[in-house]
Amino acid sequence: MLTNPFVFGKTVNESDFCNRKTDISFLHNQFDTNSNTILISPRRWGKSSLVEEAAKRYAKKNVRFIFLDLFKCRTPEEFYEAYVQACLKATNSKLEEAFQFATQWLKSLVPNLSFQPDQQSEFNIKFNLTKTVKESEILNLPQLLAEKKGLRIIVCLDEFQNIQHFPYPIEFQRKLRGYWQKHGGVHYCLYGSKRHLMVQLFESSDLPFYKFGAVHYLKKIELQEWIPFVENKFKKSGKTISPTQITILCEAMELHSYYVQQAFQILWYISGNKIKISDVQAALQQLAQQNELQFQKTVEGLTTYQLNYLKAICAEVKNVSSKESIKQYALGTTATVQRSIQALLQKDVIDTMGKEVMLVDPAFKWWFKQNFIEAT
């Protein structure tokens, strides 16, 4: 039985990875020069897959990548525990090796470390933060590993914007920057899924991480890259799809990596050996149906003004704040429009790029237009 060749909802690599040659080249250059890197883009554009693939293709000796997802971290203590685990596990292949290193170099941490066998990852590290533990030992750990083991360390932190939700976030950010900017043997690659928060963190001159590294705005994968990628996937599984059909799905999902992969996964399932236009439309409908509960929940959390603002955006109104637009779409006042924008930004429903306002989720936009604009 043939396996569906399209993957979404998790990091992808090798044959499932589409293009990003320029971005991988940029990351490799950053790794070579040991310059810190900040990746910024809307969610689900493939940042995590990009960094992991770049790491796999970075064939340099004595380099170790430390990966940590801060999604579950809500306090400095949770961050410290996860950080120590990630650092020791990425640079030590065996439990005994990690324990020996900790015993020799992490004096204040040793009484609080618990090493346990783990079949999946060889060993598991438990860590209890106490007042006797020195924060400097934790935050300097990558540099210490680089020095003592003769390694170059590349620390990759996903969902980095979550540190803005920690108690006393500015103080914590100052602490991180204070230590990390002194690390000559460590490269920091920081990225996250909420673009406006990442922009605020790294491009606000009054925040600690301003100018911490080279900011790279990830772009969408171009249509001309998707077409041969998709064609090849279908061809290898005995199916035929035209460039026109690929274009329809890609443009409907606005070249959004996650949804492009999901759309073609659905299309592959429901189609025969030769794709029909009706299959393409059916795939879009099924994609919307699969996400409908989430989309309905999003709409239910909006005020009438916010809902009307989305209608104006989806109708491609150029100047939503004009008197005519405010009256036509019942948006309240100019001040109400600004409050709606801020609320929708916080809810991660919209994003802004310069003066352009866009919906973050193209599948939600497609569903919204079907149900709130074209249906009226």
Q: Tokens in use for 329?
A: 């779409």
pLDDT at residue 123, rounded to an integer: 60
pLDDT at residue 1, rounded to an integer: 61
Domain boundaries, the chain: 20-217, 223-290, 293-373
pLDDT at residue 233, rounded to an integer: 93
Question: Is-contact 251 243, C-beta < 8 A?
Answer: no
Question: Is-contact 69 11, C-beta < 8 A?
Answer: no
Each residue of 306-351: pLDDT tens digit? Answer: 999 999 999 999 899 999 999 999 999 999 999 999 999 989 899 8
Average pLDDT across each block of 10 residues of the chain; the chain has 376 residues. List them in order: 78 70 93 93 85 90 94 91 90 82 82 64 63 84 95 96 94 96 96 88 94 92 94 94 97 94 96 96 96 96 97 92 94 96 93 85 95 73
Span 223-290: which CATH code?
A: 1.10.8
Q: How many CA atoms lie within 13 A of 53 on its CB side?
A: 22
Cα–Cα distance for residue pair 288/265, rounded to 1 Å: 13
Each residue of 208-255: pLDDT tens digit? Answer: 999 999 999 888 899 999 999 999 999 999 999 999 999 999 999 999
Fold of 20-217: Rossmann fold (3.40.50)
Question: Is-contact 252 284, C-beta < 8 A?
Answer: yes
pLDDT at residue 105, rounded to an integer: 87
CATH class, range 293-373: mainly alpha
Which residues touch 41 (CB under 8 Å, ≥6 apart)? 47, 195, 217, 218, 219
Cα–Cα distance for residue pair 347/359, rounded to 1 Å: 11
Cα–Cα distance for residue pair 195/138, rounded to 1 Å: 28
pLDDT at residue 38, rounded to an integer: 96
